[in-house]
Amino acid sequence: MAWAIQLAVTTKNLLQSTMNMDHKTVEKYILSMTGAIRDYPFGPDVAVYKSSDKMFALIAEGKEPLRLSLRCDPRLAVLLREKYVEVQPGYHLNKKHWNTLVLAGELPWEEVQGFIRHSYDLVTEAETDGPQLV
């Protein structure tokens, strides 16, 4: 019986971590990054998120499910596409360096946050010529 309760709690937690991925939640997380701004250089259908004038995320406005495009290390991009059906080559972007995530509730929010952080880090590390060694 205890295993059934644990399974129910785990399932509830998983559902809660995937249910909150609406446009507003994703955008709020993206804009919480230092120096991140939203722009519409391609028109009103695509929100572009930049740091120091370099794109690191795009959201297709008004699409269901939500489509989030992110920069990605080329080797990691291939691995993520193999691991997750929801991760696809970047839509209308350089497929080597961009992935598009279809946020239909399958990917846990914590993973999506990690993908966003990775994309942001790629752009901000490029500003300083890579990670700083101490």
Domains of the chain: 2-127 (3.90.1150.30)
pLDDT category at 127 given cuts 50, 70, 90 is: low
CA neighbor of 124 nearest in space, from 28, 58, 33, 31: 33
| Cβ partners under 8 Å of residue 68, min gap 6 | 26, 57, 58, 59, 100, 101, 103, 112, 116
CB atoms within 10 A of CB 108: 15
pLDDT tens-digit map of 18-45: 445 899 999 999 999 999 999 999 999 9
pLDDT tens-digit map of 57-109: 999 999 999 999 999 999 999 999 999 999 999 999 999 999 999 999 999 99
- State pTM to two decimals: 0.80
The answer to whether residue 122 scores a pLDDT higher than 50 is yes
